[in-house]
Structure 1
């Protein structure tokens, strides 16, 4: 079955993928939340509706999400750099260690049962939601970033865990940096660049080294589903600036709490499904 035939016969899926792109783009611009935290669970449950196993659904959702983050992060970097919010000194210190974590995490995705990554995503989503609900606006826990060894560990951990669950790094790096009194606007801007360091090598590793599962949906190469990529990316890139403009007019704090509740329910639902 060709991609065109698949979309024609599954028009509701096509619409769901388009809606995912719109929603992920708006949230990225409005709340500074990486699109992967939206894209992964949508694809995870969507693929299962076509008879794909939960294990295969998770690894394909992870790889596809990372692929979509590549163009989105490039667009976001340009925007944040124009405002002076990308910390290139921090990136120079962290880049090599992020890359080591990404390569290790991406390789694990191609070799380890997907249920482990479902559990990891559920835990990260749940913790991220709780952080949004209860730590927003709270004072930092530390006065400054740790020394070289601590920052190496931070960079490696961000790359490792983000690549294993298909997120761009902002979900982990922004709250982590702000714990150390790092300026929030610079944390968000720098996270966009971290997202590119994570997504590009991560997606390529899963595309080239990943073995396509026997029950993978049509249009999957390696572990990347091109249908999801093609449907989501243009709308994510287009609607991210729309979200940024909405942020100036809407109550972003209230919307962030609503999203946190939805994310909390999603994370718990993934963990419950895993336990059943």
Structure 2
């Protein structure tokens, strides 16, 4: 495998993102873009690595009883088919990534500026509203090739959907089901002959190790305010990362 440093990058990304319930798909894509890998392989790697990281995280969140299936179901029920459809849509990658970067930065600013407030059981999200939110993020996620947790998490924080650790758990489950749906749609397309399967396998091992460590740190050691701040920083960094590669196209 060329570029062995990718293993270190991917392990680090998986560790950081998994600590707040994310898979790291946006950063995997950003790193791979620097190496000019085939687009099909880039999306395949990002989605498979997402699945590996959040599968381990989801299991840990479930074992620690942080996952509320009844509350999560209305959000994911429509996101799954919409993520599949989104992965089949053909759009201009550059134009979309500009919109993606702007929306990520806006989400991070809103998350950082909003003063933390205690969650109360009375503040419940309606089923219809949850379904529309999940479907919209699912479609967006499928089009880009990420799991969508980086969009969902700020929205759940801003609406005080639940305590931060349960939001991290919900984001992890959301990323898992949407990444699987998007990957199935992605694999339904013709597979190029230049795919480097050895590289994909090694990167999968790296994110498995990083994700397992990060998930345990996030569940056991990070307090609620720390999770909120880390989430905001990661969302902002991902937005800047995307815009830095595509914003020159609008000038």
Shorter-chain TM band: 0.7 to 0.9
159-168 vs 59-68, which deviates more?
A: 59-68
TM-score, normalising length: structure 2 = 0.81
TM-score, normalising length: structure 1 = 0.74
1:130 and 1:260 in contact (8 A); partners too = no
How far did 1:68 drift? 1.6
Secondary structure, in 3 states, of the residue corresponding to 2:160?
Answer: coil
User: What are the superposed Cα offsets for residues 207-228 of structure 1, whole Å, 9 maximum, x if unpaired?
Assistant: 222564xxx9x316xxxxx455
CA gap 1:37/1:195 in 2 versus in 1, 3 angstroms = same
> What residue number does 2:15 align with?
26
Where in structure 2 are there 5+ consecutive unaligned residues? Answer: none
User: What are the superposed Cα offsets for residues 127-177 of structure 1, whole Å, 9 maximum, x if unpaired?
Assistant: 34434543473678xx73443322221110121112222222221111112
1:240 pairs, out of 211, 233, 246, with 211
Are 1:71 and 2:60 an aligned pair? no
> What residue number does 1:130 align with?
109
Find the aligned partners of 2:128 and 2:208 in 1 and give their Cα distance.
36
1:29 and 1:240 in contact (8 A); partners too = yes
Are 1:84 and 2:65 an aligned pair? yes
> What residue number does 1:3 align with?
none
Could you list the structure 1 runs, at least 4 aligned residues long, displaced by more than 4 angstroms after superposition: 244-247, 249-261
2:103 and 2:239 in contact (8 A); partners too = no
Find the aligned partners of 1:139 and 1:268 in 2 and give their Cα distance.
33
1:69 and 1:199 in contact (8 A); partners too = yes
Find the aligned partners of 2:135 and 2:186 in 1 and give their Cα distance.
19
2:23 and 2:49 in contact (8 A); partners too = no
Find the aligned partners of 1:195 and 1:18 in 2 and give their Cα distance.
22
Are 1:106 and 2:87 an aligned pair? yes
Find the aligned partners of 1:128 and 1:227 in 2 and give their Cα distance.
36
> What residue number does 1:158 align with?
137
